[in-house]
Structure 1
Amino acid sequence: MAEREVLLKILDLARWAPSGDNTQPWRFEIVSGDHIAIHGFDTRDWCLYDFDGHPSHMAHGALLETLRIAATGFGLDARWTIRAGCPDTAPIYDVKLQAEPGLAPDPLFPHIETRVVQRRPMRTTPLTDVQRERLTAAPGPGFQVQFFESFAERLEVAKLLWGNAHVRLTCPEAYAVHKEIIEWGARFSKDRIPEEAVGVDPLTARLMRWVMQSRGRVEFFNSYLFGTIAPRIQLDFLPAMACAAHLLLRPDSPPAKLVDHLAAGRAMQRLWLTVADLGLYLQPQMTPVIFRWYARAGQPLSGLPSLNSAVASLAHRFESIVGAGEQAQFAFFCRVGAGSAPRSRSLRLDLPDLLRT
């Protein structure tokens, strides 16, 4: 039986797991000295980017892996199961902890809190063979990592992101999400993305803040003043070129159940923590993956037919870049590279706010 203080320390580390737009779709319950229940949820009911809840499920997997890594720092082995009878929209994960004499801390333990998102341009210094080997092995069995490193490959990805960004910034259904997830005028944020971490210059940030106060302003600005150009250049095209490589995490088998998306989240987190261990930075680029999920599932992204046609075209372009067919599975897409540490970042809700009594 672990002391409650130890369990709180483990959860205080686990809460630093990544989640889409810092939504933190989980709450913790300490059931006993060796049992923690994690009450998960997803944001599919309001977030366009949480396709069928799968990005939230991947975040749950990242959390469970982070908790396991954190537990090793206290000589504890953490193993989880999915509680029977729970819907995928609100899964409960029962985590049992057991003392393991001689258990060494996971090598990724020191990077749980230092792992960050770097949305600004990085250096184009190529990855070394050692770095590439570490990143290839990081996700573990069941997943492959595909690299896009040359100038030509980065340019193709940049053009793909340029097209995805146009859909993202003009989609009416995305407006409410974008308005909700940014904390304007902030360097740090406990439950959103702070303005200074968005990745645009101060002038563009001020303009974005004014425009996003109403959907009418967004439509007018996009239609008559080329409103998507500056953010697409700063948030998508330039960062896509200014990095060492783009990485695509691909599962060996198509995900069929909740547990498969949890496994993808675990692989994603181990990849991300390995990036930090190598002294590099990472930025997720999930919009192409999520839009492709919509296209291949035959589900409309928007009520505007033109945007759905654009999503289908972008899905084909993504597959062409990757050299994959329509049945291939993509789990996580990101860019990595060296550079200066971000000055701004998303924090997390305080642990008491994440605890259920």
Structure 2
Amino acid sequence: MNIDNNSFDLMQPSPVPILFIPFKNNEYECNNCGNLYSKTLKFEQKYCKNCLLKYKYTTGSNTYLDVHIIMTNNAQCIEHKATRNNFCTINIQEWCKYCSEISYFRQVFSDYLSFINTKPFNYEVCDKHLSKRGPQYYQLSFGWVESTILSKKSVLIIYLPWWDNHDRCSICPRELDYIQQESKFHCQKWCSHCFIIYIGCSYCLTTNIIIGITNQSQCKNCKRVSFLNIDISGNCIIDEFLFSIKIENKNHHFIADYVNKDPFNVYRFIRSKFYSGINSIIWIPYSQIRNLKKIAEGGFSVIYKATWSVSSYPYFIDVAVKKLINSQDISKDVLNELKSLYQCNDGNNWIIGCYGITQDP
């Protein structure tokens, strides 16, 4: 794994994983304890008060979180006196579930404004308590890692110094899927349409964005290594083809050059380089193809009419399925034909589009 030499001076890694903030902000229940999530006063960042309380007592330190806390109403607080009126702090050990609220977590990126507007509600009182870490503190860096589907090629990793808990892909509008892990706390997600992987470090609240498929990722702050297990089609030739039509290698270098010109617009820049607006050819599980009815046969293939149960939509689509004869090992010539068809498809109806590739098990 090759990492650039840009500065990555972050908060000290937590001695225990931070499990009270979800990796997708559209969740309602804590993955760790099952309680309902609460929301911060600003930016509606979700967190679990029960797990935060356990974390507070376990660590006994305020050096692991960049958080802003304000006092709400301590009239009935059983732990503090009224002297906490107009109270504001960045020390998580000062947080009380009875008389204070989390204004926002500065390390959590669920809203662009959370990094631009850094002032809590009661700014006049709290100004002296504001973190010294302004937006310029959160700088990006990048590196390269060997691809597990592209032979002798590398894919780009962008090291984000914040916890990215978006629930949708930064390129297309599809919801991100969790990658299966042994732990019930999820910190790996990906877009199977765009081949973009998001790996979170729950000790540092950082995120690696991997543009491509690989089998491991390392946190740049604490050096912990996360292992990934992503199986797309089970066929390396098909996997390489699907990746090649989605992401051009030259765009990797455009993003690497852009990284610290405007860190908080990095998502918009990635989208501008990879989003085409044209439906891409995807891998379709054979179980989603139903009601096959033979309508024609030639020397090399059989044509069927079928229905496709689209996983991302609650309905079926009538499709034509072209099944190649004696195609246990798909050739690159067939895939090159598909690639040419995809490149010619500019969204007009006069070209027959291809939804994807499947394989009869």
TM-score (normalizing by structure 2):
0.23
> Does 1 or 2 have the higher relative contact order (CA < 8 Å, sep 6+)?
1
Higher normalized strand content (fraction of residues): 2
Higher normalized helix content (fraction of residues): 1
TM-score (normalizing by structure 1):
0.24
Instruction: Point out the structure with max Rg over C-alpha.
Output: 2
